[in-house]
């Protein structure tokens, strides 16, 4: 059923039997933000009452009239309420003792640092908001942001929210084509980018890609360009471009926050689904902000003086919810780092924690596994004594990585919170509250208060302890996506039609006898490569776009480091030509990187004369996974021609052996 390989499955099973349990220490529990175990039952008995109580933590410009209107599968939260996200993240903190508190401590890849207090960040955001207005952006418009890990990206996002424009941040690792597709789909009016981004001492030419992306996109009349790398950037001109620094220098730091409706769109974030076209996930104002801020405060047990670091990129939802909106709404000090963990040396993260006294650290299992490979002596050499809570996100964390993280980074003192959620859920859904819930390595434990989850079989019945099934969420929640931008039918079909009234996550899961959830990976054609979500169809379309490719099938094969690696099976148009051409393989890999972005580049390309298909012509990816993971072939009886897959397997084994 799932893409989880057999050995991993066995390890999980073994752990379930062993039942290793890490209860919170009495000391941690006593001081924890969530310390009353009754919170779960209270939320369960009256979810709307619970959310209403939690929503008191937001600053409202006008109180709401109704907590929830649930017309499945469409939800509206906090109806009639008005508020502004930038006001909640900045202005309200500037009215009290947090005014001169560091909002962002930023470290550039080269080691340069900048600190922005809440007051300074508020002023910059207001200036930028005025710049956006002067460039014709108004409430309800969409703005694309194609930038790296610099404070200005946060400024740009919050400036949009201040004037009621929705942003769509496009990860800087995406290609010009991918950026164009998103700008078009969202109907953006303005693009904000930077000349280049630093990556391992080299420049990622964001502006050049932005220029290419804008070819044939007449809707974007202006582009705001931040100078980050200066002379090191390719000299590129974009028609109608405006220099960030020049514009900001002349702009007023006064800009009132637009009173937004609770249900006004806050942002669109594109994510890969099971078709070739990325989905524009729509999040709205009040519910999203509540979900992001509440979970950030409770799951990471944020304290007023903490330095909090989420090592994700701002271009993904983790960056949106847990670098920007959650932490800033909570008045936290956010550490932000521009570069990669191995620059200039492989101890960069430990040095950053040491240098800035980081208390909470949040990263992905793939990064933890990379650290494991680099060796425990690197974290051992740094002072990590300030760490108090460790988080994991993006993919199932294997128990070995969990244990390593706990021992070598947390030194056995820090709770590890494995946080399960998705772009669609907006905020963490399944994770331990570290003062209340005993953790088990490899389990995200239980749904947060107010969240209801189940594991269902194909017939829609809950699966008992130990059995696998589809993970669903059975109740609406404030930070849930509202729709897919421009395609509400797809929203209904994709998430709510499999089990009417219940949200289909696309993940497989099982529960143990304590009711804990164990995530088993995607059950659909979505891959998870290094915590990045990729669609098999998107990569297949990119491959078929190459003039020499007739057909392709892409699968995620288990990879010890990345979770999954991309394997592409390709049939060429002229089968007579040399099939094993290494040059063509690299060309195809480069082609995918150019069409989508380097993250989608296949790790392996295999040429084959035919692909295994059912009689109705559907490619059987399951069999390709069996082949690529070296398993015995599963059921081949539905194949049109069983010989094809047998032949492919032999061919594959030959090329692996070579
Ligand atoms: C998919 C969502 C949510 C932020 C980053 C990814 C997988 C995410 C976990 C976890 C097991 C996880 C799921 C999910 N996933 N966190 N803690 N344990 N799996 O966001 O790109 O929307 O991907 O990532 O498969 O469906 P995303």
Which residue in 15, 10, 9, 6 sits closest to 516, CA to CA? 15
CA of 417 to the centre of ligand 1 (A): 14
> Which range, of 42-51, 81-90, 372-381, 519-528, averages the lowest pLDDT?
519-528
Backbone φ and ψ of 582, nearest 5°: -60, -35
pLDDT at 7: 61
pLDDT at 658 over 50: no
pLDDT at 1: 35
CA of 519 to the centre of ligand 1 (A): 9
pLDDT at 513: 93
Q: Is the CB of 536 under 6 A from ligand 1?
A: no
CA of 636 to the centre of ligand 1 (A): 31
Structure token digits, residue 514: 């304590």
Strands 82-83 and 260-261: antiparallel
Residues in contact with 360: Cβ distance below 8 Å, sequence separation at least 6, in sequence order: 300, 301, 302, 306, 307, 308, 309, 387, 388, 389, 390, 391
Q: How confident is the model at residue 504 (pLDDT cuts 50, 70, 90)?
A: very high
Ligand 1 pocket mutation pick from 521, 533, 563 by most atoms within 8 angstroms of CB = 533
Model confidence over 22-67: pLDDT tens digits?
A: 999 999 999 999 999 999 999 999 999 999 999 999 999 999 999 9
CA of 517 to the centre of ligand 1 (A): 14
Residues in contact with 368: Cβ distance below 8 Å, sequence separation at least 6, in sequence order: 392, 397, 401, 404, 405, 409
Rounded CA separation 545/542 (Å): 5
pLDDT at 561: 93
User: Domains of the chain (ranges plus CATH)?
Assistant: 117-258 (3.40.50.980), 530-657 (3.30.300.30)
Distances 446 to 428, 516, 518 between C-alpha atoms, Å: 11, 5, 9
Model confidence over 285-304: pLDDT tens digits?
A: 999 999 999 999 999 999 99
Q: Is the CB of 341 under 6 A from ligand 1?
A: no
Instruction: Pick the residue whose CA is nearest to atom 6 on ligand 1.
Output: 394
Q: How confident is the model at residue 10 (pLDDT cuts 50, 70, 90)?
A: low
Q: How confident is the model at residue 20 (pLDDT cuts 50, 70, 90)?
A: confident
pLDDT at 343: 97
Instruction: Pick the residue whose CA is nearest to atom 16 on ligand 1.
Output: 394
Instruction: Pick the residue whose CA is nearest to atom 12 on ligand 1.
Output: 395
CA of 629 to the centre of ligand 1 (A): 22
CA of 135 to the centre of ligand 1 (A): 36
pLDDT at 230 over 60: yes
CA of 419 to the centre of ligand 1 (A): 8
Q: How confident is the model at residue 636 (pLDDT cuts 50, 70, 90)?
A: confident
User: 3-state DSSP call for residue 501?
Assistant: coil
Which residue in 340, 347, 378, 346 sits closest to 201, CA to CA? 340
User: 3-state DSSP call for residue 113?
Assistant: strand
pLDDT at 641 over 90: no
Burial code (b: 16+ CB inside 10 Å, e: under 16) for 463-474 equals beeeebbbbbbe
Residues 85, 158 contacting (CB under 8 angstroms): yes
Instruction: Pick the residue whose CA is nearest to atom 17 on ligand 1.
Output: 420
pLDDT at 617: 81
10 Å CB burial of residue 181 (0-12, 13-18, 19+) is buried
Average pLDDT over residues 586-608: 94
Q: Is the CB of 144 under 6 A from ligand 1?
A: no
pLDDT at 13: 58
User: 3-state DSSP call for residue 74?
Assistant: strand
Q: Tell me the whole-structure pTM to 2 decimals.
A: 0.93
Cis peptide before 344 (omega within 30 of 0): yes
Model confidence over 167-206: pLDDT tens digits?
A: 999 999 999 999 999 999 999 999 999 999 999 999 999 9
CA of 295 to the centre of ligand 1 (A): 16
Cis peptide before 28 (omega within 30 of 0): no
Average pLDDT over residues 627-632: 86
Which residue in 312, 246, 233 sits closest to 531, CA to CA? 312
Rounded CA separation 11/114 (Å): 44
Q: Could you give the residue ranges of the DSSP H alpha helices within 395-504?
A: 399-404, 488-496
CA of 153 to the centre of ligand 1 (A): 23
pLDDT at 643: 82
Q: 473 forms bridges with which residues in the sheet? A: 453, 503
Q: Which atom of ligand 1 is nearest to the CA of 505?
A: 26
Q: How confident is the model at residue 417 (pLDDT cuts 50, 70, 90)?
A: very high
Average pLDDT over residues 602-622: 87
pLDDT at 3: 38
Q: Is the CB of 363 under 6 A from ligand 1?
A: no
Model confidence over 317-328: pLDDT tens digits?
A: 999 999 999 999
| DSSP result, 321-359 | IIIIIHHHHTTPEEEEE-S-TTSSSTTHHHHHHHHHT--
Instruction: Pick the residue whose CA is nearest to atom 20 on ligand 1.
Output: 422
CB atoms within 10 A of CB 46: 13
Q: How confident is the model at residue 74 (pLDDT cuts 50, 70, 90)?
A: very high
Quote the Cα angle for 121-208-177, to 5°: 100
Model confidence over 329-355: pLDDT tens digits?
A: 999 999 999 999 999 999 999 999 999
Average pLDDT over residues 514-533: 92
SS (H, E, C) 281-310: EEEECHHHHHHHHHHHHHHCCCCCCCEEEE
CA of 424 to the centre of ligand 1 (A): 10
Structure token digits, residue 102: 């560091």
Instruction: Pick the residue whose CA is nearest to atom 8 on ligand 1.
Output: 394
Backbone φ and ψ of 585, nearest 5°: -60, -45
Q: Is the CB of 390 under 6 A from ligand 1?
A: no
pLDDT at 122 over 70: yes
Q: Is the CB of 533 under 6 A from ligand 1?
A: yes
Average pLDDT over residues 86-91: 98
Instruction: Pick the residue whose CA is nearest to atom 19 on ligand 1.
Output: 395
Q: Is the CB of 519 under 6 A from ligand 1?
A: yes
Rounded CA separation 531/420 (Å): 12
Average pLDDT over residues 633-641: 79
Residues in contact with 314: Cβ distance below 8 Å, sequence separation at least 6, in sequence order: 147, 149, 153, 154, 157, 169, 320, 323, 324
Model confidence over 571-594: pLDDT tens digits?
A: 998 754 555 588 999 999 999 999
10 Å CB burial of residue 499 (0-12, 13-18, 19+) is middle
Q: How confident is the model at residue 149 (pLDDT cuts 50, 70, 90)?
A: very high
Rounded CA separation 191/171 (Å): 13
Q: Could you give the residue ranges of the DSSP H alpha helices within 55-193?
A: 85-86, 92-94, 118-134, 151-163, 176-186
Cα atoms in the 13 Å half-sphere on the side-chain side of 531: 24
CA of 268 to the centre of ligand 1 (A): 18
Q: Average pLDDT of the chain?
A: 94
pLDDT at 376: 94
10 Å CB burial of residue 596 (0-12, 13-18, 19+) is buried
Q: How confident is the model at residue 431 (pLDDT cuts 50, 70, 90)?
A: very high
Which residue do the tokens 């937004």 mark? 260
């Amino acid at each position: 059923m799932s893409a989880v390989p057999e050995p991993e499955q066995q390890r999980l099973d073994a752990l379930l039997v062993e039942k290793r349990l890490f209860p919170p220490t009495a000391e941690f529990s006593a001081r924890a933000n969530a310390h009353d175990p009754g919170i779960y039952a209270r939320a369960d008995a009256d979810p709307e009452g619970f959310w209403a109580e939690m929503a008191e933590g937001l600053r409202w410009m006008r109180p709401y009239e109704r907590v929830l209107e649930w017309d499945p599968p469409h939800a509206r939260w906090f109806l009639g309420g008005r508020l502004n996200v930038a006001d909640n993240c900045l202005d309200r903190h500037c009215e009290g003792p947090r005014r001169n508190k560091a909002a962002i401590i930023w470290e550039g890849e080269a080691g340069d640092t900048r600190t922005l207090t809440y007051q300074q960040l508020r002023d910059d955001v207001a200036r930028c908001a005025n710049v956006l207005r002067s460039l014709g952006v108004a409430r309800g418009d969409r703005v694309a942001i194609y930038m790296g890990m610099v404070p200005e990206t946060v400024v740009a996002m919050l400036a949009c929210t201040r004037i009621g424009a929705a942003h769509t941040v496009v990860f800087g690792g995406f290609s010009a084509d991918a950026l164009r597709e998103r700008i078009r789909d969202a109907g953006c009016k303005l693009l904000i980018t930077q000349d280049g981004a630093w990556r391992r001492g080299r420049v990622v030419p964001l502006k050049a890609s932005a220029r290419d992306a804008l070819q044939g996109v007449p809707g974007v009349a202006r582009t705001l360009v931040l100078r980050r790398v200066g002379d090191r950037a390719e000299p590129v001109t974009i028609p109608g471009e405006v220099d960030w620094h020049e514009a900001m220098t002349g702009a007023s730091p006064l800009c009132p926050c637009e009173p937004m409706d609770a249900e006004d769109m806050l942002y669109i974030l594109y994510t890969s689904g099971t078709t070739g076209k990325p989905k524009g996930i729509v999040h709205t104002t009040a519910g999203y902000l509540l979900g992001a801020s509440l979970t950030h405060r409770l799951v990471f047990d944020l304290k007023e003086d903490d330095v909090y670091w989420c090592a994700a990129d701002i271009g993904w939802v983790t960056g949106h919810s847990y670098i920007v909106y959650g932490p800033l709404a909570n008045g936290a000090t956010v550490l932000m780092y521009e570069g990669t963990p191995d620059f200039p040396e492989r101890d960069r993260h430990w040095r950053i924690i040491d240098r800035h006294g980081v208390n909470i650290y949040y990263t992905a299992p793939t990064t933890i596994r990379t650290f494991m490979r680099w060796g425990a002596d690197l974290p051992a050499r740094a002072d990590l004594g300030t760490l108090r809570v460790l988080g994991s996100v993006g993919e199932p964390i294997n128990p070995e990585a969990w244990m390593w993280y706990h021992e070598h980074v947390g030194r056995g003192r820090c709770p590890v919170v494995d946080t399960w959620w998705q772009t669609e859920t907006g905020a963490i859904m399944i994770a331990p509250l570290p003062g209340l819930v005993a953790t088990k390595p490899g389990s995200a434990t239980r749904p947060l208060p107010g969240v209801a989850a189940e594991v269902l079989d194909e017939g829609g019945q809950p699966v008992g302890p130990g059995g696998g099934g589809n993970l669903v969420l059975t109740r609406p929640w404030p930070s849930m996506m509202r729709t897919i931008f421009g395609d509400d039918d797809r929203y209904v079909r994709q998430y709510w039609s499999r089990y009417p009234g219940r949200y289909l996550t696309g993940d497989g899961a099982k529960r143990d006898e304590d009711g804990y959830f164990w995530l088993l990976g995607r059950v659909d054609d979505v891959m998870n490569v290094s915590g990045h979500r990729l669609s098999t169809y998107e990569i297949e379309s990119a491959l078929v776009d190459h003039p020499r490719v007739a057909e392709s099938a892409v699968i995620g094969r288990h990879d010890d480091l990345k979770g999954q690696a991309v394997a592409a099976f390709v049939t060429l148009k002229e089968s007579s030509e040399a099939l094993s051409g290494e040059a063509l393989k690299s060309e195809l890999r480069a082609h995918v990187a150019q069409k989508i972005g380097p993250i989608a580049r296949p790790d392996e390309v295999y040429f084959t004369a035919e692909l295994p298909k059912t009689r109705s012509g559907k490619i059987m990816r399951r069999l390709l996974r069996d082949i690529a993971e070296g398993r015995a072939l599963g059921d081949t009886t539905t194949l049109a021609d069983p010989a094809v897959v047998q032949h492919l397997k032999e061919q594959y084994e030959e090329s692996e052996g070579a």
